[in-house]
Structure 1
Amino acid sequence: MQALLLSVSLAVILCYLWYASLVKKRQSAIDSLIVLNQKIDARLVLLSQLSDVSLQHQPLDEAQADQWQQLRALADNSLWSQGIDDHLPTTLAVWSEMDMLQKGLFSALHGDALDEQRVNEYLQLELDYQNVADFYNQTVTELNQGVGMFPGSIVAKLAKVSVMPQLIPDVG
C-alpha cells in the first residue's frame, strides 16, 4: 500500500513539474512575441526616418516604391493581440515578410547622408529582432517537443497547453 501511495505521489509530482515546465516555455514564447512586435515596429519607424533623409539625396526607384507600399500594407496587418489565437501564424508570416522588406530597403538607403547614430540604432534593432526570433523558435521547439511526448502530451491536454507555430526564418 505504501509503495502504491509513493508511486502515485511521485507521478503527481512529475506531472506537476512537467506542467510547470510547459507553462514556463509557453510564457517565454509569448514574452518573445511581445518583444518581436516592439522591435519590428521600432525598426519601421527608424527606417522611415532614415528613408526621409536618404530621399533628399536620392529618389526611390520603382521597385523601392513598391517595397515601401508593400511594407506599409503589411504593417497595417501586423497587429498582434498579445494572446495566442488562430491569427498567430499569419502574424508571424507578416513579421517575417516585414523583416525581409526592411532589410532590403535599408540596404538601398543613400549612406553618406545618414546619421551614423541612427544607422547604428537601426542595425542594433535588426540584430535584436534576429536574436529574439531565434530565442522564440528555440523556445517553441522545446514547448512543442514537450507537448508531443509522453507524459507531456497527457499533461498538455489536461492543462490545455497546445503547440505554437515557428517564426519563418529569413533565408535571404
Structure 2
Amino acid sequence: MQALLLSASLVIILCYLWYASLIKKRQSALDSLNVMDQRMASRCSLLSAILTQSQAHHPQTSEQALLLSELTALQASSRWQQQIDTQLTQVLNTWTLMDRLLSRLFFTVTTDKLDENQLNQYLQFELDYGHAADFYNRAVTDLNQGVQIFPGSIVANIANITTMPLLALSEPDNVPTSGSTQFSEKAK
C-alpha cells in the first residue's frame, strides 16, 4: 500500500514539474513576442523619421514610396493582441514581411547627411528584433517538443497548453543599394 502511495506521489510530482517546465517555456516565448512587438514598432517609427529627414536632402524615389505604402498597409495588422490563437500566426507572418520591407527600405535611404545616432539606433533595434526572434523560435521549439512527447502531451492536454507557431525568419536581401554602400563606407 505504501509503495502504491509513494508511486502515485512520484507521478504527481513529475507531472507538476513537467507542467511547470511547459509554463516556463511558454512564458519565455510570450516575453520574446512582447520584445519583438516593441522592436518592430520602434523600427517602423524610427525609419519613418529617418525617411522624413532624408527627404529634406534627397527626393523620395518611387521604390521608397512603394515600399512605404506596403509597410503602412501591413502596420495595421502587425500589433499583437497578447493572445495565442490563429491571430498569432497572422501577426508572425506580417512581422516577417515587415522585417523584409524595413530592411529593403532602409537600404534605399541615402545616409550621407543623416543623424548617425538615429541610424545606429535603427540598426540596434533591428539587431534586437533578430535576437528576440531567434530566442522566440528556440523557446517555441522547446515548448512544442515538450507538448508533443508522451508525458508532456497528457500534462499539456490537462493544463490546456498548446503548441505555438514558429516565426519564419526573413532572409536578408543580398542586393545592396547605394544607401547601404554609403552607410558602410561612412561606418569605416
- Alignment TM class, shorter chain as reference: over 0.9
- Which residue of structure 2 lines up, in the alignment, with residue 44 of structure 1? 44
Instruction: Give runs of ≥4 in structure 1 deviating > 3 Å.
Output: none
What does residue 101 of structure 2 align with? 101
2:82 — aligned with what?
82
The farther-off stretch of 58-67 and 160-169 is: 58-67
Report whether the alignment pairs 1:66 with 2:66: yes
**1:115 aligned residue:** 115
Bigger drift between 120-129 and 82-91 goes to: 82-91
Match for 1:139: what amino acid? Answer: A
- Look up the SS of the partner of 2:81 in the other structure: coil
For 1:87, what is the secondary structure of its paired residue?
helix
What one-letter code is carried by the residue in structure 1 that aligns with 2:31?
Answer: D
Deviation at 1:60, TM superposition (A): 2.3
Larger CA deviation: 104-113 vs 127-136: 104-113
Matched, 1:6 2:23: no
TM-score, length-normalised on structure 1? 0.97
C-alpha RMSD of matched pairs (Å): 0.8
Alpha-carbon offset, residue 28 of structure 1: 1.1
Structure 2 unpaired stretches of 5+:
173-188
Provide the C-alpha distance between the structure 1 equivalents of 2:12 and 2:148, rounded to a whole number of angstroms: 19
Correspondence for 2:185 = none
Gaps in structure 1 of 5+ consecutive residues:
none
Query: Aligned partners of 1:155 and 1:59: how far apart in 2?
Result: 59
CA contact (8 A) 1:46 1:118 kept: yes
Letter matched to residue 63 of structure 1: E
1:112 is paired with a residue whose SS is coil
Q: Alpha-carbon deviations, 1:96-119, whole Å to 9, x = none?
A: 111111111111111111101111
Tell me the distance in 1 between the aligned counterparts of 2:113 and 2:144: 47
Distance across 1 between alignment mates of 2:60 and 2:76: 22
Q: What percentage of residue pairs aligned between the two structures are identical?
A: 52
CA distance in 1 between counterparts of 2:2 and 2:80 reads 51
Instruction: Measure, in 2, the Cα distance between the counterparts of 1:120 and 1:33.
Output: 23
Aligned residues: 172
